[in-house]
Amino acid sequence: MPEVTPAVYGDAIALTLKLAGLTTVLLLLVGTPLAWWLARTRSWLKGPASALVALPIVLPPTVIGFYLLVAMGPNGPVGHVTQALGLGVLPFTFAGLLVGSVFYSLPFVVQPLQNAFEALGERPLEAAATLRASPLDTFFSVVFPMTRPAYLTATVMGFAHTVGEFGVVLMIGGNIPGKTRVLSVQLYDHVEALEYTQAHWLAAGMVLFSFGVLLVLYTLTSSGRRPGAQRQ
């Protein structure tokens, strides 16, 4: 394995943060209407849809990565569409990593939002309706302020979970420096090359990052649930 320079670590860190940030934004945009529908619908499709959303929690990441690789490959249905649009194929590109990360981290954003929407109840929405508020006004003036802790949880969990991805990233993106080599893949490279000292420092850094993220999350959510904080 070639010598790893600080620039290589910098590229891996920047790529990981870019992937996690864009994935989190897309998850919030996609997850909000999906969570709202799951929380409000009485359709028989709610059960199958909820199961599909939760599937990444129980499936091995390599299974998800394999089927996404096949679907987005040159002979897959998604690959046919992207090639017809002149976009080429998505595997082993940053765009492919982004698609895979959105699928893999979806339940960590949708489920907190769905639970918050279900706990919201009907009374706030009915009050907004009596004031003739539009659906958009109702969401930003009533729903979002009342479910802000859930959005904080969804944002932090989606970001942190994406940072720690490995199986899906490796299956879809491979190990291309500067393009698809994120921190988890860099760690795998060190272990494969028996470079345990470098692997230790990188792994310890990711542990500290994850602990710090969770500490901030639980501190903020617990303070937000105090009666005094809610009245302010």
Contact 137, 128 (CB under 8 A): yes
Asked if residue 193 lies in contact with residue 89, where contact means CB atoms within 8 angstroms, the answer is: no
Domain membership of residue 14 (yes or no) is: yes
Tell me if 47 is assigned to some domain: yes
Render each residue's pLDDT in the chain as its tens digit; 232 residues: 555 566 677 788 889 989 999 999 999 999 999 999 999 898 899 999 999 999 999 998 889 999 999 999 999 999 999 999 888 889 999 999 999 999 999 999 999 999 999 998 888 888 888 887 788 888 888 888 889 889 998 998 899 889 888 888 888 988 888 888 888 888 888 888 888 888 888 889 888 988 888 888 778 777 655 544 444 4
Closest CA to 69 of 96, 94, 95: 96
Q: What is the domain-level CATH number for residue 164?
A: 1.10.3720.10
Q: How many CA atoms lie within 13 A of 122 on its CB side?
A: 1
**For residue 209, what are the domain limits?**
6-120+147-224
- Asked whether residue 93 is domain-assigned, the answer is yes
Q: Give the number of domains in the chain.
A: 1
96 located within any domain: yes
Q: Write the Ramachandran bin of 54: left for phi over 0, alpha for psi from -120 to 50, otherwise beta.
A: alpha
User: Is residue 88 in a domain?
Assistant: yes
Q: Read off the pLDDT of residues 188-199 as tens digits, 9 standing for 90 and up.
A: 888 888 888 888
Cα–Cα distance measured from residue 125 to residue 229, given in angstroms and rounded to the nearest whole number? 23
